[in-house]
Structure 1
C-alpha cells in the first residue's frame, strides 16, 4: 500500500520517494514494522487472552515438568499473523498476485489453527479438531494455493518446473501436458500431479511446525532461521543478476515475496520476546499452522520444495520422529524414542528445556546454511 501510494502515485511530485522502489529498503522496513507491531501489541493481546481465560491445556502423558505451564495464555499466534500480514500489505506491491497467494495461504492455515485452538478452549482439554477434519481443511487450503498457481501459469506468470538441488539442468515439470506429446490429452487431469504435490508439501510443512511447537521458543526460533533463509532465496530468485549467476529459474514476480519473508522474520522475533523461556504466551495451532503454511507456500512459489527438508531441518526431524514412533509401536509394539516428538526424547534423557531449545536452534541454523550453500553446489 505504501509502495503504491508513495512511489507509484507521489514519486512524480516528490522524487525522494524513489527509495520506495528498492526491494531491500522495503524488506528491511517491513521486518522492522512487523517487529514493532509484535512488540507493542503483544502485552495487549496477552492481557486479552488472560481475560478470556484462553489458557493452554498440557497433555497428561508429557513431561511432568510441563504441568506448571498449564493455564499459560495460548492462541498468541493471532499476534504473529497480524504482525506478518499488516507489514506485507503496507510495504509490498499490491499488484503482485504471488504476494496475495502467500497472504491468503497464511490466513487459511491460521484459520484452521484458530478453529483447532478454539475447540480445545471450549472443551477444556488438549484435543481440538479431529485429525481427519484438520487434514481435510489443510488439504483444501493447499488445493486452493495450487489452483491459484495453475491459473497464473496460463498468463506465464508462474513456472511449474521444479528446481532440484545439486543438478543444474534437470527441471522436471509436474504438469502432464508438458510431458512428451505421445501422452494423450488429459484435460484437467493434467493438473492432478501438481495439485497433489502442493497439497503434500503444505500439509507436511504446516504439521511439522505444529509438532515442533512443544517447548518455549523452540518453534518460533527455528522459524526465524527458516524465514531468514527463505528471504535470501526469494531475493536471489527474483534478481536478474543473481538468478543468472546461480543458474536459477528467473522469476521476476517472486522478488516481491522477499517483503513477505522479511515480515515473517520480524514478526517471529517480536513474538519470541514473549515466548522465550519461561513463556508468557504460547502461539497455539493458530500460529504454528499459519507459519508452516507460510513457509511451505513460499517454498512452493520459488520452486524450492526439495530444499525444504534443509531450510526447515528441525521441523522435518520432529515430524519424522513422530511417524517413526507411531509406526514402530503399531508394527512392533516397541518405541524408538523415549517420547515423541524428538524434543521430548531429549528432555527424558535429562537435558534441561533451555538446553534442548538452544541446541535445536543451532541445528536449525546449520540446516539453513547448508540449504543456502546448495545454490552454488550445482
Structure 2
C-alpha cells in the first residue's frame, strides 16, 4: 500500500524514499509493526474478549492446572491475523502473486477457524465446526493455491544456474524468453539430500506415457491440498499448551524466511543448488510480519497464558506455513522443519489406531501413550507445562537448524 507512494517520492528525489526499495528495510519494518500491533493492541483485544465473556471451554481430561485455564479468552488468533495483514498491506507489493496467495491463505483459514471458535464459544457446542466442513475449506484453499501456481503466468522457476553472460538478462527478467529456456513453468520442487534435486510431480504418472505431460498438474494440486490440510491440522493439534504452537511456529517461520531469501536470490540459489524463484523476495516481507505476529502474541500466550489463539489462530498458522513452503518449492522439507507438528499428528493417529485394533482383538482398547497428542502424555507423566513447552521449542530449533543444513548436504 505504501510501496507506490514511496516509489513516487523516490522519482522526485525525496530524501530517504529509496530505502523502501530494499527488502531488508521493508522486512524489518514489517517485524517491528507486527510486534507493536501484537503487544500494544493485543491487550485491548484481550479486554474486549473478556468483556464479551469469550472464554475457553475446558473438558475434564485429568490434567494438572487444567481448570485454571477455564474462562481464559480464546479466539486470540485474531491478534495474529491482524498483526500479519496490516504490515503486509503497508510494506508488501500487493501486485505480487505470492503475496496475494499468502493474504488469501491468511484470511481463508482465519475465517474457517473463526467460525469453528464461534460455534464453540457462542453456541456452546464443544465439537465446533464439523470436521467435514473444515476439510472442505482446506481442500478449497489447496485448489486455489495449486491451480494458481500451475496456471498463472507470473509463476516460473529457474531449473539450472545461469552463466555470467546471462546475468544481465536475469536482472531484467528477460531470461525466460531466451533460447536457453532456463525459466520453466512446471510442477517441480527441490528434493533434499540429493545432488540431482529436481522432482517433477508428473513423474508420478510415469505409466501414463505422453499423457503425463498433460495431467501432471493434477498430481501437483492433490499434493498441495494434502500438504496444506496436514500441516494446518498438525498446528491445530499442537496447540494444547501455553505457547507451544506459537513458539514452534515462530521458529519455523524464521527458517522459512531464510529459505525464501536464498530462493529469491539468484546468487545464493546457484550456490546452494536450489531453484531460483523470481519475485519470491516479497515473501520475506510477509514472513517477517508472521514472525513478529507470533512473537508478539507469545507475549500474552506464554505460560500462564492470558489468551489462547483458538482454531482461529492454529488453523491459520499451520496453513500459512504449508502454503509458504510450497510457494518457495521447499515443501519436501516440511517433515523435518515441522517435525513437532508431524509427531503430534502421528501420536494421535497411532493412539486411535492402536486403541481400535486392540479393542477389536482383545475386547478392550489399549493405549500406546498415556494421552494423545504427545504433549499431554508428558503432562500425565508429571512434567511441568512450562518445561514441556521449552523442551519442544529446543527440539524445534534443532529441527530448524537441520533444515538449513540440508541445503549443503547433497
TM range (shorter): over 0.9
Query: How far apart are residue 299 of structure 1 and its match?
Result: 0.3
* Residues 1:163 and 2:190 aligned together: yes
Partner of 2:355: 329
For structure 2, the 5+ residue unaligned runs are 158-184, 359-364
Contact 2:97 2:154 in 1 (8 A): no
By how many angstroms is 1:180 displaced? Answer: 9.4
Partner in structure 2 of residue 216 of structure 1? 242
Shift of 1:3: 2.1
Confirm or deny: 8 A CA contact 1:54 1:121 kept in the other structure.
yes
1:353 is matched with 385
Counterpart of 2:258 in 1: which secondary structure?
A: helix
Cα distance in 2 between the residues matched to 1:244 and 1:52:
54
* TM alignment of 1:1-378, pairs within 5 A: 1-6=1-6, 8-13=7-12, 14=14, 16-61=16-61, 63-152=63-152, 156=156, 159-175=186-202, 182-184=209-211, 189-332=215-358, 333-378=365-410
**Cα 1:178–1:131 shift into 2, 3 Å:** closer
Q: CA deviation at 1:280?
A: 0.6
TM-score calculated relative to the size of structure 1: 0.95
- Displacement of 1:108 in angstroms is 0.7
Of 97-106 and 62-71, more deviation after overlay is shown by 62-71
> What displacement does 1:106 show?
1.4
1:59 match: secondary structure = coil
Decide whether the 8 Å contact of 1:153 with 1:159 is kept in 2.
Answer: no
Q: Mark the CA change 1:304 to 1:140 in structure 2 (over 3 Å): closer, same or farther.
A: same
| Residue 137 of structure 1: how far off its partner (Å) | 1.4
SS in 2 for 1:162: strand
Matched residues, number: 376
Deviations 1:144-182 (A, max 9, x none): 111121222586476521111011223121247997994
Distance in 1 of aligned mates of 2:348 and 2:126 = 18
- Cα deviation, 1:289-327, whole Å, max 9, x if unaligned, reads 110111001000011111112222211111111111111
| Contact map agreement 1:138 1:203 (CA 8 A) in 2 | yes
